A and B are shown apart, each in its own frame.
Chain A
C-alpha cells in the first residue's frame, strides 16, 4: 500500500466550476501536510499548507481530518490558469521524510 494515495483524475471542468481533490495517508505519525501545484515540466510549488482547523486562501480551501487520515482541497470558481497537476504531500512520519501522492491533473476549459 502506498503511503499517500490520491485521486488519479484527470479532472476536466468548465470555467467557474467547483472541484475537489482528496488524499489519504497511512502513517498516523505524520505531522505536516501540504498541497503543491506542478505545471507541465516544472518543479512543484507550494499552494498551501493544511491545518486541522481547515484553512482558506481565496478560492482554495484545504481540510485535514487526522482521525480519518484524510486531506482535501477544494477549488471554487475555477479559472483557466488553475490547470495543472495538484500533489498532496505528507511530511514527518519517519525521520522527517516527505512523501507525495501521485498527483491529480486538472484541466479547466473555457
Chain B
C-alpha cells in the first residue's frame, strides 16, 4: 500500500541534543512538507521541498534543518538551537505544482518531548 510513514511515533530528547525525525513516502510525490503543532493550535510550516536537493524555509525554520537527497525521504533535524522543541511534528507529501488533485497526505506524526 502506498503511503507516508513517520518514525518514531514518540521520541524523548535531552536538552542540548540534536534529534532527527524520519519521513518516508512511496507515493511518488514531488512535494514534501514539515509542520509543527502545539496543543490547541494549528499547523505551522517549518520547511518544504518541491524537488530533490531543494527546499525552502517556512514560517518557523529557526532551530531546524532538513535534507532532500532522495525523492522518497525528507528527514527533519531538531537542533539544540530550537528553544522549545516539545511538540507534535507532522510530515506531508503531495504531487508537484501545476498538477491536479494536489491534496496532501500526512504521516501519523511524531510526538517529541524534551526531558
Contacts and interface: CB of A to CB of B under 8 A. Distances in A.
Interface stretch (A53-61, A62-70, A76-84, A96-104): A96-104
A32 B100 CA distance: 9
A101 B43 CA distance: 8
Contact of B56 (A42, A92, A95): A95
B106 A92 contact: no
Contacts of A109: none
Interface residues of B, number: 28
B25 interface: no
Contact of B42 (A46, A95, A96, A103): A103
Given A44-B90, A92-B97, A99 B45 contact: yes
B96 to A, nearest CB: 7
A101 B44 CA distance: 9
Interface in A23-57: 31-32, 34, 41-46, 49
A96 B96 contact: yes
Contacts of A31: 97, 102
B58 A43 contact: no
B35 interface: yes
Interface residues of A, number: 24
Interface string B16-46: 0000000000000001010100000111110
B103 A49 contact: yes
B83 to A, nearest CB: 22
Contacts of B105: 46
Interface of B: 31, 33, 35, 41-45, 48, 50, 56, 58-59, 88, 90, 92, 94, 96-97, 101-109
